[in-house]
Amino acid sequence: MKKEISRCSWTKNDPIYIRYHDFEWGVPVFDDKNLFENLTLEIFQAGLNWLLILKKREEFKRCFDNFNINKIAKYSELEINKLMQEKEIVRNKLKILATINNAKQTLKIQKEFESFNKYLWSFNNYKIIKNKYKHIKDIPSQTILSKKICKDLKKRGFKFVGPKIIYAFMQSSGMVNDHIVTCFKYNESNKTKKGIENRDYL
Catalytic amino acids? 20, 42, 50
In single-letter form, the type of residue at position 130 comes to K
Residue 187: half-sphere exposure toward Cβ, Cα within 13 Å:
7
CA distance 101 to 119: 18
What's the rounded Cα separation, in Å, for the pair 25 and 121?
A: 17
- How many Å apart are CA 201 and CA 28, to the nearest integer? 10
Half-sphere exposure of 17 (CA within 13 A, CB side): 12
